[in-house]
Amino acid sequence: MESSFKTADIQYVKFHSKVLKTLILIFVISFIPSSNMSAYMCKYKEDFYKLYHIHYQQYPDDCMENIYWLEQAVRADFANPLYAKAKITSEDQYEKYRYLFMMHLNLKLIEQHLRLGRIYDKKALYFYDAPWKDEYLANLKKTKACYEAGYYYWKEASLWAEKANIGKFRFLFIQELQNWEDERERIGTGELNYKTMLDRELKRVNGIIAEIEAIDAAAEAQ
């Protein structure tokens, strides 16, 4: 009996110790200034772009989330040059910065649509895939829609890259955005060409879709 009371006392002390620690934590948090806990409002391109992020392994929801933030960034206004992603010292530099930013956003939208499409992609159709052909066909149509969307963004990216390549920017480089400058240069030289990639991938996807539809047509004819 005595041992049971001792056990109960120990549990009582442990319980109240946890309660005390919780109360102390609440007391400390109550003294944190509320200004540090205020919500952050996204309004400008630079704000929405900060929400774009890459996971080591991206699931459909991750891709769609990134597409949403990038689309919001495309539609939003630019922040004051003081808050640009690079130090701006002239109007010409700010003009090129805006062109590069729009080019980069559209390139990222292509990448995310390609990532999303590849999740549903069926690289090849084998004879033993017949039992699941309907599921494969539904997924391939999603893949096709994602890849086809890339054409629009490639057209936009190419347009903004061309604007950033005009004569007055020939000797103007934004060193803090070297990767954007590299993208612009690669588009200008033809080294970066998403249209070629999209054409190749869609030709393959359409071929697999045609194979599945041919199987269905042959089955109906029997």
Q: Is the pLDDT of residue 218 over 90?
A: no
pLDDT for the residue numbered 211: 92
Residue 62's φ and ψ, nearest 5 degrees, are: -65, -45
Contact 161, 184 (CB under 8 A): yes
Q: Is the pLDDT of residue 48 over 70?
A: yes
pLDDT for the residue numbered 33: 52
> For residue 153, which amino acid is it?
Y
- Per-residue pLDDT of 195-206, as tens digits, reads 999 999 999 999
- Record the pTM: 0.80
Q: Is the pLDDT of residue 19 over 70?
A: no
- Per-residue pLDDT of 141-187, as tens digits, reads 999 999 999 999 999 999 999 999 999 998 999 999 999 999 999 99
Q: How far apart are the first and last CA of the chain?
A: 84
Q: Is the pLDDT of residue 216 over 60?
A: yes
pLDDT for the residue numbered 21: 52
pLDDT for the residue numbered 39: 56
- Per-residue pLDDT of 60-110, as tens digits, reads 999 999 999 999 999 999 999 999 999 999 999 999 999 999 999 999 999
pLDDT for the residue numbered 168: 94
Contact 114, 142 (CB under 8 A): no
Length of the chain: 222
- Per-residue pLDDT of 119-130, as tens digits, reads 999 888 888 888
3-state helix/strand/coil string of 117-163: HHHHCCCCCCHHHHHHHHHHHHHHHHHHHHHHHHHHHHHHHHHHHHH
Mean pLDDT of 127-136: 89
